[in-house]
Structure 1
Amino acid sequence: MIRVLFVGDVVGKPGRDWLAARAPGLRESLGLHFIVANAENAAAGSGLTGALANSILSCGVDGITLGDHVWDQRGFETEIVGLERVCRPANLPEINPGRRFLVLERDGLRLGVFTVLGRQFLPPRADCPFRVADRVLAELEGRVDLVLAEIHAEATSEKIAFGRYLDGRAAIVVGTHTHVPTADATVLPSGTGYITDVGMTGPYDSVLGREVKPVIERFLHGMPTRFPVADGDVRLSGAVAEFDPVSRRVVSMRLLTVAANEGAAAGTG
Protein backbone atom coordinates (compact mmCIF):
# COMPACT_ATOMS: atom_id res chain seq x y z
CA MET A 1 0.00 0.00 0.00
CA ILE A 2 1.10 3.57 -0.69
CA ARG A 3 0.27 5.85 2.24
CA VAL A 4 -0.02 9.61 1.72
CA LEU A 5 -0.62 12.28 4.37
CA PHE A 6 -1.99 15.63 3.27
CA VAL A 7 -1.56 18.29 5.96
CA GLY A 8 -4.18 21.05 6.17
CA ASP A 9 -3.31 24.75 5.96
CA VAL A 10 -0.22 25.42 8.12
CA VAL A 11 -0.95 28.58 10.11
CA GLY A 12 1.91 30.76 11.32
CA LYS A 13 4.73 29.80 13.65
CA PRO A 14 2.61 27.44 15.79
CA GLY A 15 1.80 25.32 12.74
CA ARG A 16 5.37 25.43 11.43
CA ASP A 17 6.84 24.45 14.79
CA TRP A 18 4.42 21.53 15.09
CA LEU A 19 5.53 20.16 11.73
CA ALA A 20 9.20 20.62 12.51
CA ALA A 21 8.82 18.65 15.73
CA ARG A 22 6.49 15.90 14.61
CA ALA A 23 6.56 15.22 10.85
CA PRO A 24 9.48 12.71 10.96
CA GLY A 25 7.78 10.75 13.74
CA LEU A 26 4.48 10.67 11.88
CA ARG A 27 6.19 9.34 8.76
CA GLU A 28 7.60 6.45 10.76
CA SER A 29 4.59 5.68 12.97
CA LEU A 30 2.06 5.80 10.10
CA GLY A 31 4.31 4.22 7.48
CA LEU A 32 3.95 7.22 5.20
CA HIS A 33 5.50 7.32 1.74
CA PHE A 34 4.64 11.00 1.12
CA ILE A 35 3.74 14.05 3.20
CA VAL A 36 2.25 17.02 1.35
CA ALA A 37 1.23 20.25 3.11
CA ASN A 38 -0.68 23.36 2.19
CA ALA A 39 1.47 26.25 3.49
CA GLU A 40 -0.33 29.31 2.15
CA ASN A 41 -0.82 30.65 5.70
CA ALA A 42 2.63 29.75 7.04
CA ALA A 43 4.10 33.28 7.09
CA ALA A 44 2.41 35.07 10.01
CA GLY A 45 -0.92 33.67 8.83
CA SER A 46 -0.83 34.99 5.24
CA GLY A 47 1.35 33.70 2.43
CA LEU A 48 4.73 32.00 2.33
CA THR A 49 8.38 32.99 1.93
CA GLY A 50 11.23 31.10 0.32
CA ALA A 51 13.02 30.67 3.65
CA LEU A 52 9.93 29.28 5.36
CA ALA A 53 9.22 26.95 2.44
CA ASN A 54 12.70 25.48 2.71
CA SER A 55 12.31 25.15 6.48
CA ILE A 56 9.05 23.21 6.10
CA LEU A 57 10.54 20.96 3.42
CA SER A 58 13.62 20.27 5.54
CA CYS A 59 11.53 18.85 8.40
CA GLY A 60 10.19 15.94 6.35
CA VAL A 61 7.52 17.41 4.10
CA ASP A 62 7.88 16.23 0.50
CA GLY A 63 5.86 18.93 -1.27
CA ILE A 64 4.01 22.19 -0.61
CA THR A 65 0.82 23.52 -2.16
CA LEU A 66 -0.60 27.04 -1.95
CA GLY A 67 -3.94 28.83 -2.24
CA ASP A 68 -5.51 32.25 -2.61
CA HIS A 69 -2.87 33.87 -0.34
CA VAL A 70 -0.07 32.73 -2.64
CA TRP A 71 1.24 36.27 -3.36
CA ASP A 72 0.63 37.86 0.07
CA GLN A 73 4.33 38.02 0.99
CA ARG A 74 6.33 40.65 -0.87
CA GLY A 75 8.90 39.18 -3.24
CA PHE A 76 7.58 35.62 -3.18
CA GLU A 77 6.75 35.87 -6.89
CA THR A 78 10.49 35.81 -7.56
CA GLU A 79 11.36 33.25 -4.88
CA ILE A 80 8.83 30.64 -5.99
CA VAL A 81 10.63 30.09 -9.28
CA GLY A 82 13.54 28.45 -7.45
CA LEU A 83 11.39 26.26 -5.19
CA GLU A 84 11.22 22.91 -6.99
CA ARG A 85 8.86 21.25 -4.49
CA VAL A 86 6.33 24.09 -4.21
CA CYS A 87 3.41 24.59 -6.59
CA ARG A 88 0.98 27.48 -6.91
CA PRO A 89 -2.66 27.02 -7.94
CA ALA A 90 -2.70 25.56 -11.45
CA ASN A 91 -5.66 27.63 -12.60
CA LEU A 92 -4.12 31.05 -11.99
CA PRO A 93 -3.37 33.00 -15.19
CA GLU A 94 -0.45 31.51 -17.13
CA ILE A 95 1.61 34.67 -16.58
CA ASN A 96 1.87 33.80 -12.88
CA PRO A 97 5.30 32.38 -11.95
CA GLY A 98 5.78 29.02 -10.26
CA ARG A 99 4.99 25.40 -10.98
CA ARG A 100 1.46 24.30 -11.85
CA PHE A 101 2.05 20.79 -10.49
CA LEU A 102 4.69 18.66 -8.79
CA VAL A 103 6.09 15.22 -9.48
CA LEU A 104 7.45 13.95 -6.16
CA GLU A 105 9.67 10.87 -6.12
CA ARG A 106 10.45 8.75 -3.08
CA ASP A 107 11.47 5.10 -2.69
CA GLY A 108 10.85 4.45 -6.38
CA LEU A 109 7.31 5.89 -6.25
CA ARG A 110 6.09 8.97 -8.12
CA LEU A 111 3.28 11.15 -6.79
CA GLY A 112 1.73 13.88 -8.91
CA VAL A 113 0.38 16.85 -6.94
CA PHE A 114 -1.60 19.90 -8.01
CA THR A 115 -4.07 22.36 -6.55
CA VAL A 116 -6.78 24.54 -8.03
CA LEU A 117 -8.71 27.51 -6.65
CA GLY A 118 -12.47 27.34 -6.48
CA ARG A 119 -14.45 30.16 -8.09
CA GLN A 120 -17.48 30.38 -5.79
CA PHE A 121 -17.10 33.24 -3.27
CA LEU A 122 -13.41 33.70 -4.14
CA PRO A 123 -11.95 36.44 -6.39
CA PRO A 124 -12.77 35.49 -10.04
CA ARG A 125 -9.21 35.61 -11.34
CA ALA A 126 -8.87 31.86 -11.73
CA ASP A 127 -9.70 29.68 -14.73
CA CYS A 128 -12.24 26.86 -14.45
CA PRO A 129 -10.84 24.38 -11.88
CA PHE A 130 -12.54 21.42 -13.59
CA ARG A 131 -11.11 22.12 -17.07
CA VAL A 132 -7.67 22.93 -15.68
CA ALA A 133 -7.68 19.66 -13.74
CA ASP A 134 -8.39 17.84 -17.02
CA ARG A 135 -5.32 19.45 -18.59
CA VAL A 136 -3.02 18.76 -15.63
CA LEU A 137 -4.11 15.12 -15.43
CA ALA A 138 -3.38 14.74 -19.14
CA GLU A 139 0.13 16.15 -18.60
CA LEU A 140 0.76 13.80 -15.67
CA GLU A 141 -0.46 10.66 -17.45
CA GLY A 142 2.33 8.10 -17.68
CA ARG A 143 4.67 10.17 -15.50
CA VAL A 144 3.37 9.24 -12.03
CA ASP A 145 2.01 6.27 -10.09
CA LEU A 146 -0.83 8.22 -8.48
CA VAL A 147 -2.17 11.78 -8.32
CA LEU A 148 -3.24 13.95 -5.40
CA ALA A 149 -5.51 16.85 -6.37
CA GLU A 150 -6.38 19.65 -3.97
CA ILE A 151 -9.24 22.12 -4.37
CA HIS A 152 -8.75 25.28 -2.32
CA ALA A 153 -12.29 26.59 -2.20
CA GLU A 154 -15.02 28.14 -0.07
CA ALA A 155 -18.13 26.34 -1.32
CA THR A 156 -18.82 22.80 -0.12
CA SER A 157 -20.84 22.06 -3.25
CA GLU A 158 -17.94 23.03 -5.53
CA LYS A 159 -15.54 20.80 -3.63
CA ILE A 160 -17.85 17.78 -3.66
CA ALA A 161 -18.57 18.25 -7.37
CA PHE A 162 -14.82 18.46 -8.05
CA GLY A 163 -14.20 15.23 -6.14
CA ARG A 164 -16.92 13.45 -8.08
CA TYR A 165 -15.58 14.86 -11.36
CA LEU A 166 -12.14 13.37 -10.67
CA ASP A 167 -13.38 10.09 -9.17
CA GLY A 168 -11.34 7.27 -10.70
CA ARG A 169 -8.89 9.68 -12.35
CA ALA A 170 -7.09 11.18 -9.35
CA ALA A 171 -6.27 8.79 -6.51
CA ILE A 172 -6.85 11.43 -3.82
CA VAL A 173 -8.91 14.63 -3.79
CA VAL A 174 -8.72 16.90 -0.74
CA GLY A 175 -10.41 20.20 0.01
CA THR A 176 -8.78 23.09 1.88
CA HIS A 177 -9.30 26.79 2.69
CA THR A 178 -11.99 26.90 5.41
CA HIS A 179 -9.63 25.71 8.20
CA VAL A 180 -12.50 23.61 9.60
CA PRO A 181 -12.20 19.82 9.15
CA THR A 182 -15.21 17.98 7.79
CA ALA A 183 -16.48 14.55 8.81
CA ASP A 184 -16.95 13.11 5.32
CA ALA A 185 -13.68 11.30 4.56
CA THR A 186 -14.64 8.50 2.17
CA VAL A 187 -13.72 6.43 -0.84
CA LEU A 188 -15.83 7.42 -3.83
CA PRO A 189 -17.45 4.79 -6.09
CA SER A 190 -14.58 4.63 -8.62
CA GLY A 191 -11.87 4.44 -5.97
CA THR A 192 -10.82 8.03 -5.25
CA GLY A 193 -10.15 8.98 -1.63
CA TYR A 194 -12.02 12.20 -0.84
CA ILE A 195 -12.61 14.72 1.97
CA THR A 196 -14.31 18.12 1.66
CA ASP A 197 -11.91 19.96 3.99
CA VAL A 198 -8.92 18.68 5.95
CA GLY A 199 -8.90 21.63 8.35
CA MET A 200 -5.80 23.51 9.48
CA THR A 201 -2.53 22.81 11.24
CA GLY A 202 -2.17 25.47 13.89
CA PRO A 203 -3.88 26.95 16.97
CA TYR A 204 -7.47 25.80 17.47
CA ASP A 205 -8.08 28.07 20.48
CA SER A 206 -8.79 30.78 17.91
CA VAL A 207 -11.02 31.88 15.07
CA LEU A 208 -9.55 30.03 12.07
CA GLY A 209 -6.06 30.38 13.57
CA ARG A 210 -6.31 34.05 14.62
CA GLU A 211 -6.73 35.53 18.10
CA VAL A 212 -10.38 35.52 19.12
CA LYS A 213 -10.87 39.04 20.51
CA PRO A 214 -9.88 41.12 17.44
CA VAL A 215 -11.94 38.91 15.14
CA ILE A 216 -15.04 39.39 17.28
CA GLU A 217 -14.37 43.12 17.43
CA ARG A 218 -14.17 43.28 13.64
CA PHE A 219 -17.59 41.64 13.39
CA LEU A 220 -18.97 44.15 15.88
CA HIS A 221 -17.58 47.42 14.50
CA GLY A 222 -16.45 46.62 10.94
CA MET A 223 -13.28 48.71 11.23
CA PRO A 224 -9.90 47.56 9.87
CA THR A 225 -8.30 45.33 12.51
CA ARG A 226 -5.09 43.31 12.76
CA PHE A 227 -5.63 39.60 13.31
CA PRO A 228 -2.54 38.18 15.08
CA VAL A 229 -1.99 34.43 14.87
CA ALA A 230 -3.16 32.69 18.06
CA ASP A 231 -1.02 30.17 19.94
CA GLY A 232 -3.32 27.92 22.00
CA ASP A 233 -4.36 24.29 21.46
CA VAL A 234 -2.07 23.59 18.52
CA ARG A 235 -3.09 20.60 16.41
CA LEU A 236 -2.41 19.03 13.08
CA SER A 237 -5.41 18.28 10.93
CA GLY A 238 -5.03 16.36 7.71
CA ALA A 239 -6.04 13.26 5.82
CA VAL A 240 -4.33 9.91 5.33
CA ALA A 241 -5.01 7.90 2.20
CA GLU A 242 -3.98 4.30 1.61
CA PHE A 243 -3.67 3.50 -2.11
CA ASP A 244 -3.48 0.00 -3.58
CA PRO A 245 -1.28 0.16 -6.71
CA VAL A 246 -2.62 -3.18 -7.96
CA SER A 247 -6.32 -2.30 -7.98
CA ARG A 248 -5.52 1.41 -8.60
CA ARG A 249 -7.97 2.33 -5.84
CA VAL A 250 -7.76 4.02 -2.46
CA VAL A 251 -8.80 1.43 0.12
CA SER A 252 -8.83 3.73 3.14
CA MET A 253 -9.33 7.50 3.57
CA ARG A 254 -9.49 9.08 7.01
CA LEU A 255 -9.28 12.38 8.77
CA LEU A 256 -6.23 12.62 11.04
CA THR A 257 -6.10 14.93 14.07
CA VAL A 258 -3.03 15.19 16.28
CA ALA A 259 -2.64 17.58 19.22
CA ALA A 260 0.78 18.97 20.08
CA ASN A 261 1.02 16.79 23.18
CA GLU A 262 -0.41 13.50 21.93
CA GLY A 263 -0.02 10.78 19.35
CA ALA A 264 -1.96 10.32 16.15
CA ALA A 265 -5.72 10.04 16.56
CA ALA A 266 -7.69 8.26 13.85
CA GLY A 267 -10.67 10.07 12.44
CA THR A 268 -13.43 8.93 10.14
CA GLY A 269 -13.26 7.17 6.80
Structure 2
Amino acid sequence: MALTAMIVVQAGAAFAQPTMAAYGPFATTWGRLAWAAIMLFIIVRPDIRRYRPRELLLTLALGATMAAMTLTFFVAIMRVPLGLVVAIELLGPLTVAAFGFARSWRILWLVLAFAGVLLLALNLEGWTIDVLGFGFALLAGVGWGTYIVLNKKVGRIFRGLDGLAISFVAAAVIATPFGLYETGFTLPSGLVFETMGLAILTPLLPYALEMMSLRRLSQASFGILMSIEPAVAALAGYIILSEALSLQQLAGIALVVCAGAGAVASSREH
Protein backbone atom coordinates (compact mmCIF):
# COMPACT_ATOMS: atom_id res chain seq x y z
CA MET A 1 0.00 0.00 0.00
CA ALA A 2 2.85 2.40 0.81
CA LEU A 3 4.61 1.65 -2.48
CA THR A 4 1.41 2.11 -4.50
CA ALA A 5 0.78 5.42 -2.75
CA MET A 6 4.29 6.53 -3.65
CA ILE A 7 3.86 5.82 -7.37
CA VAL A 8 0.39 7.38 -7.55
CA VAL A 9 1.35 10.58 -5.74
CA GLN A 10 4.35 11.25 -7.99
CA ALA A 11 2.38 10.56 -11.18
CA GLY A 12 -0.35 12.86 -9.87
CA ALA A 13 2.17 15.60 -9.13
CA ALA A 14 3.58 15.37 -12.65
CA PHE A 15 0.16 15.35 -14.33
CA ALA A 16 -0.86 18.43 -12.32
CA GLN A 17 1.77 20.68 -13.93
CA PRO A 18 -0.43 21.93 -16.82
CA THR A 19 -3.28 22.78 -14.42
CA MET A 20 -0.90 24.61 -12.08
CA ALA A 21 0.59 26.52 -14.99
CA ALA A 22 -2.92 27.64 -16.00
CA TYR A 23 -4.47 28.43 -12.61
CA GLY A 24 -1.56 28.52 -10.13
CA PRO A 25 -0.30 26.03 -7.51
CA PHE A 26 -2.45 27.35 -4.65
CA ALA A 27 -5.68 27.22 -6.66
CA THR A 28 -4.88 23.75 -7.98
CA THR A 29 -4.03 22.48 -4.50
CA TRP A 30 -7.21 23.96 -3.07
CA GLY A 31 -9.31 22.33 -5.80
CA ARG A 32 -7.73 18.95 -5.20
CA LEU A 33 -8.17 19.12 -1.43
CA ALA A 34 -11.76 20.32 -1.75
CA TRP A 35 -12.73 17.50 -4.11
CA ALA A 36 -10.89 14.93 -1.97
CA ALA A 37 -12.74 16.18 1.12
CA ILE A 38 -16.14 16.01 -0.61
CA MET A 39 -15.56 12.54 -2.09
CA LEU A 40 -14.15 10.94 1.05
CA PHE A 41 -16.72 12.52 3.39
CA ILE A 42 -19.59 11.21 1.23
CA ILE A 43 -18.03 7.73 1.03
CA VAL A 44 -17.01 7.40 4.69
CA ARG A 45 -19.73 9.53 6.35
CA PRO A 46 -17.88 9.78 9.69
CA ASP A 47 -19.97 10.08 12.86
CA ILE A 48 -18.25 13.03 14.53
CA ARG A 49 -20.37 12.64 17.67
CA ARG A 50 -18.64 9.41 18.65
CA TYR A 51 -15.26 11.15 19.10
CA ARG A 52 -14.03 13.38 21.91
CA PRO A 53 -13.01 17.02 21.32
CA ARG A 54 -9.35 16.17 21.98
CA GLU A 55 -9.46 13.52 19.25
CA LEU A 56 -11.13 15.91 16.79
CA LEU A 57 -8.42 18.49 17.49
CA LEU A 58 -5.90 15.89 16.38
CA THR A 59 -7.65 15.61 13.00
CA LEU A 60 -7.59 19.41 12.69
CA ALA A 61 -3.84 19.36 13.31
CA LEU A 62 -3.44 16.67 10.65
CA GLY A 63 -5.59 18.69 8.24
CA ALA A 64 -3.50 21.81 8.81
CA THR A 65 -0.34 19.80 8.21
CA MET A 66 -1.74 18.28 5.01
CA ALA A 67 -2.70 21.72 3.71
CA ALA A 68 0.71 23.23 4.50
CA MET A 69 2.62 20.25 3.12
CA THR A 70 0.61 20.13 -0.11
CA LEU A 71 0.70 23.89 -0.74
CA THR A 72 4.47 24.15 -0.21
CA PHE A 73 5.17 21.00 -2.24
CA PHE A 74 3.30 22.19 -5.31
CA VAL A 75 4.86 25.64 -5.15
CA ALA A 76 8.26 23.93 -4.99
CA ILE A 77 7.73 21.72 -8.04
CA MET A 78 6.81 24.79 -10.09
CA ARG A 79 10.37 26.07 -9.46
CA VAL A 80 12.49 22.92 -9.02
CA PRO A 81 12.40 19.56 -10.90
CA LEU A 82 10.08 17.01 -9.29
CA GLY A 83 12.77 14.46 -8.43
CA LEU A 84 14.90 17.05 -6.65
CA VAL A 85 11.96 18.40 -4.64
CA VAL A 86 11.06 14.92 -3.39
CA ALA A 87 14.69 14.17 -2.51
CA ILE A 88 14.89 17.38 -0.46
CA GLU A 89 11.46 16.70 1.06
CA LEU A 90 12.58 13.20 2.13
CA LEU A 91 14.72 14.81 4.83
CA GLY A 92 11.47 15.10 6.83
CA PRO A 93 10.67 11.36 7.04
CA LEU A 94 14.36 10.52 7.51
CA THR A 95 14.51 12.93 10.44
CA VAL A 96 11.46 11.18 11.92
CA ALA A 97 13.28 7.87 11.48
CA ALA A 98 16.42 9.36 13.04
CA PHE A 99 14.54 10.01 16.29
CA GLY A 100 14.01 6.26 16.44
CA PHE A 101 17.77 5.83 16.11
CA ALA A 102 18.62 8.30 18.89
CA ARG A 103 22.21 8.01 20.16
CA SER A 104 22.96 5.33 17.61
CA TRP A 105 25.45 5.12 14.74
CA ARG A 106 22.41 4.91 12.44
CA ILE A 107 22.14 8.70 12.63
CA LEU A 108 24.87 8.63 9.96
CA TRP A 109 22.20 7.74 7.39
CA LEU A 110 20.59 11.14 7.96
CA VAL A 111 24.01 12.80 7.53
CA LEU A 112 24.40 10.95 4.21
CA ALA A 113 20.99 12.21 3.10
CA PHE A 114 21.98 15.79 3.93
CA ALA A 115 25.13 15.33 1.83
CA GLY A 116 22.97 14.13 -1.05
CA VAL A 117 20.72 17.19 -0.78
CA LEU A 118 23.77 19.47 -0.90
CA LEU A 119 24.78 17.81 -4.18
CA LEU A 120 21.27 18.50 -5.51
CA ALA A 121 21.33 22.18 -4.70
CA LEU A 122 24.94 23.41 -4.84
CA ASN A 123 28.14 23.17 -6.83
CA LEU A 124 31.44 25.09 -6.78
CA GLU A 125 29.77 28.02 -8.53
CA GLY A 126 26.88 28.31 -6.08
CA TRP A 127 23.19 27.35 -6.20
CA THR A 128 22.15 25.08 -9.05
CA ILE A 129 18.41 25.30 -8.34
CA ASP A 130 15.93 28.05 -7.47
CA VAL A 131 16.61 29.12 -3.86
CA LEU A 132 12.96 29.92 -3.09
CA GLY A 133 11.91 26.55 -4.51
CA PHE A 134 14.53 24.88 -2.31
CA GLY A 135 13.08 26.64 0.73
CA PHE A 136 9.54 25.52 -0.10
CA ALA A 137 10.80 21.95 -0.57
CA LEU A 138 12.37 22.05 2.91
CA LEU A 139 9.08 23.33 4.36
CA ALA A 140 7.26 20.50 2.59
CA GLY A 141 9.73 18.10 4.21
CA VAL A 142 8.90 19.47 7.66
CA GLY A 143 5.25 18.97 6.82
CA TRP A 144 5.86 15.41 5.58
CA GLY A 145 7.65 14.42 8.77
CA THR A 146 4.88 15.94 10.90
CA TYR A 147 2.24 14.29 8.72
CA ILE A 148 3.72 10.84 9.39
CA VAL A 149 3.60 11.39 13.16
CA LEU A 150 0.02 12.73 13.16
CA ASN A 151 -1.30 10.25 10.58
CA LYS A 152 -0.07 7.38 12.71
CA LYS A 153 -1.93 8.74 15.76
CA VAL A 154 -5.14 9.52 13.87
CA GLY A 155 -5.13 6.09 12.21
CA ARG A 156 -4.82 4.43 15.60
CA ILE A 157 -7.62 6.41 17.30
CA PHE A 158 -10.27 6.71 14.56
CA ARG A 159 -12.31 3.94 13.03
CA GLY A 160 -11.65 3.15 9.35
CA LEU A 161 -11.03 6.33 7.39
CA ASP A 162 -13.08 8.58 9.69
CA GLY A 163 -10.06 10.54 10.83
CA LEU A 164 -8.77 11.08 7.32
CA ALA A 165 -12.17 12.26 6.07
CA ILE A 166 -12.41 14.88 8.83
CA SER A 167 -8.78 15.92 8.25
CA PHE A 168 -9.42 16.46 4.53
CA VAL A 169 -12.28 18.83 5.35
CA ALA A 170 -9.99 20.81 7.65
CA ALA A 171 -7.25 20.88 5.00
CA ALA A 172 -9.67 22.10 2.32
CA VAL A 173 -11.01 24.88 4.56
CA ILE A 174 -7.48 26.03 5.44
CA ALA A 175 -6.44 26.04 1.76
CA THR A 176 -9.55 27.97 0.65
CA PRO A 177 -8.30 31.55 1.19
CA PHE A 178 -5.05 30.76 -0.66
CA GLY A 179 -6.93 29.24 -3.59
CA LEU A 180 -9.51 32.04 -3.82
CA TYR A 181 -6.81 34.70 -3.68
CA GLU A 182 -4.96 33.09 -6.58
CA THR A 183 -8.11 32.78 -8.72
CA GLY A 184 -9.13 36.38 -8.01
CA PHE A 185 -12.10 35.13 -5.93
CA THR A 186 -13.67 33.44 -8.94
CA LEU A 187 -14.19 29.74 -9.69
CA PRO A 188 -13.09 28.86 -13.26
CA SER A 189 -14.95 25.85 -14.66
CA GLY A 190 -11.69 24.42 -16.03
CA LEU A 191 -10.19 24.39 -12.55
CA VAL A 192 -13.25 22.63 -11.13
CA PHE A 193 -13.24 19.78 -13.64
CA GLU A 194 -9.48 19.30 -13.91
CA THR A 195 -8.91 19.16 -10.16
CA MET A 196 -11.73 16.63 -9.77
CA GLY A 197 -9.68 13.97 -11.55
CA LEU A 198 -6.39 15.09 -10.03
CA ALA A 199 -7.85 14.82 -6.52
CA ILE A 200 -8.14 11.04 -6.87
CA LEU A 201 -4.46 10.69 -7.81
CA THR A 202 -3.28 13.20 -5.20
CA PRO A 203 -4.22 13.37 -2.39
CA LEU A 204 -7.25 11.05 -1.99
CA LEU A 205 -5.91 7.61 -2.98
CA PRO A 206 -2.32 7.90 -1.70
CA TYR A 207 -3.30 9.45 1.66
CA ALA A 208 -5.86 6.70 2.26
CA LEU A 209 -3.30 4.03 1.37
CA GLU A 210 -0.70 5.65 3.61
CA MET A 211 -3.05 5.79 6.59
CA MET A 212 -3.88 2.10 6.19
CA SER A 213 -0.21 1.17 5.76
CA LEU A 214 0.75 3.18 8.87
CA ARG A 215 -1.55 0.89 10.87
CA ARG A 216 0.71 -2.01 9.89
CA LEU A 217 4.13 -0.30 9.91
CA SER A 218 6.05 1.50 12.63
CA GLN A 219 6.44 5.24 12.25
CA ALA A 220 10.20 4.93 11.65
CA SER A 221 9.78 2.07 9.16
CA PHE A 222 7.25 4.03 7.14
CA GLY A 223 9.51 7.07 7.07
CA ILE A 224 12.51 5.16 5.76
CA LEU A 225 10.47 3.02 3.36
CA MET A 226 9.95 6.23 1.42
CA SER A 227 13.65 6.10 0.52
CA ILE A 228 13.04 5.22 -3.12
CA GLU A 229 10.45 7.97 -3.65
CA PRO A 230 13.00 10.49 -5.03
CA ALA A 231 13.94 7.97 -7.71
CA VAL A 232 10.25 7.40 -8.54
CA ALA A 233 9.72 11.17 -8.71
CA ALA A 234 12.78 11.68 -10.91
CA LEU A 235 11.52 8.99 -13.28
CA ALA A 236 8.02 10.52 -13.36
CA GLY A 237 9.51 13.95 -14.00
CA TYR A 238 11.65 12.62 -16.83
CA ILE A 239 8.92 10.56 -18.54
CA ILE A 240 5.94 12.90 -18.08
CA LEU A 241 7.59 16.34 -17.86
CA SER A 242 10.88 15.75 -19.73
CA GLU A 243 12.86 17.04 -16.72
CA ALA A 244 16.46 16.02 -17.30
CA LEU A 245 18.88 16.10 -14.35
CA SER A 246 22.64 16.61 -14.25
CA LEU A 247 25.02 13.83 -13.22
CA GLN A 248 25.69 15.65 -9.94
CA GLN A 249 21.97 15.88 -9.19
CA LEU A 250 21.48 12.20 -10.04
CA ALA A 251 24.35 11.40 -7.67
CA GLY A 252 22.62 13.45 -4.98
CA ILE A 253 19.39 11.51 -5.47
CA ALA A 254 21.37 8.26 -5.31
CA LEU A 255 22.88 9.30 -1.96
CA VAL A 256 19.44 10.13 -0.54
CA VAL A 257 18.05 6.79 -1.75
CA CYS A 258 21.06 4.92 -0.30
CA ALA A 259 20.58 6.73 3.00
CA GLY A 260 16.97 5.57 3.15
CA ALA A 261 17.83 2.02 2.09
CA GLY A 262 20.64 1.88 4.64
CA ALA A 263 18.29 3.07 7.35
CA VAL A 264 15.81 0.31 6.38
CA ALA A 265 18.50 -2.37 6.57
CA SER A 266 19.93 -1.13 9.87
CA SER A 267 16.49 -0.78 11.45
CA ARG A 268 15.82 -4.44 10.70
CA GLU A 269 19.09 -5.35 12.40
CA HIS A 270 18.08 -3.13 15.31
Per residue, is there more helix in 1 or in 2? 2
TM-score of the superposition, structure 1-length normalised?
0.25
Pair member with larger Rg? 2
Per residue, is there more strand in 1 or in 2? 1
TM-score of the superposition, structure 2-length normalised?
0.25
